[in-house]
Amino acid sequence: MSKSIGGVKKQRIGVHVGTAGGSWTAVERAVAAGANTFQFFSSSPRSWKAAAVKPEDAKKMLDLRAKHDVGPVAIHASYLINLCSQTESVRVNATAAFRGEVERALALGAEYLVLHPGSWKGLTREEGLRLAAASIEEAIDGLAWQGKDFRILIENTAGAEFSLGGKLEQVAELVETLKPCAPVGVCLDTCHVHVAGYDIVTPEGYEETMKLVGETVGFEAVKVWHCNDAKAEKGSKLDRHEHIGEGTIGAGAFRRLLRDARFGHAVFIAETPVDNPGDEARNVGVLRTLAAG
């Protein structure tokens, strides 16, 4: 979907949008916000039930994306999914729900499906990682993802106790475990990085943290950055998003990230609050301004 201008790839900056009226309306909302990429939920993020994708909706979405040059597109998986739960019935439901997420992503032509792996409470971290990998492998078994421009992106988490992905090393381990059997990559969230205890605020801390990103998950594996400022302090483990430049991370960190050539291939998507009409466009606009200099 990316186009080049004078040999330079157009930067992809977007926002999470709603789908009221049909999934294809997400494209129109993204364009109205000044975005050229976006993220959405393919079903209610707090419900196990989801309707199948209507072929006409999928076609409308693809046609509108082509018309407006919008993409890549990310779907965020349901918050209910816990693929490393100690409870088998929960894990069975989560695996079935995640299979539905993959089916809908493929039907809609989404390039990315972002996943929080879940909580391994009651288990060891190694057991949780093994269960998460096995559940993902089971969920995609038999689905026709091969040869398609599609990846499951493991997202880092805010670092809460027992949450798989609170450390970059855990994300890297899960990705490496999945590589032989699944199309996989990484989504990093600025708020999660910050509240998990990594410094991206100071120039020196930013470089140290990015060095660690390179040594663990690897720069090329990071396909999406969720750009969210934070209400809480570094290391607090509280996942509370704030408007860009108005939280404890601040504009400087986003300027460095958006201009970091190591992520020239990645897309940047805001998941910032919608407190007032126009907040999506405002945050996209701030990100574009920061990216420009």
Cite the active site residues: 46, 76, 79, 116, 155, 189, 192, 226, 239, 241, 271
d(C-alpha 15, C-alpha 34), whole Å: 9
CA atoms within 13 A on the CB side of 282: 13
CA atoms within 13 A on the CB side of 156: 33
3-state secondary structure of 52: coil
d(C-alpha 271, C-alpha 266), whole Å: 16
DSSP of 76-135: EPPTT--TT-SSHHHHHHHHHHHHHHHHHHHHHT-SEEEE---B-TTS-HHHHHHHHHHH
Neighbours of 134 (CB within 10 A): 17
Tokens of 227: 């750009």
Cβ-contact 273, 16 below 8 angstroms: no
Q: Which residues contact 73 (CB under 8 A, 6 or more apart)?
A: 37, 38, 39, 40, 65, 108, 109, 110, 111, 112
d(C-alpha 88, C-alpha 68), whole Å: 44
From the list 49, 126, 40, the residue with the least C-alpha distance to 80 is 49
Tokens of 280: 């999506």
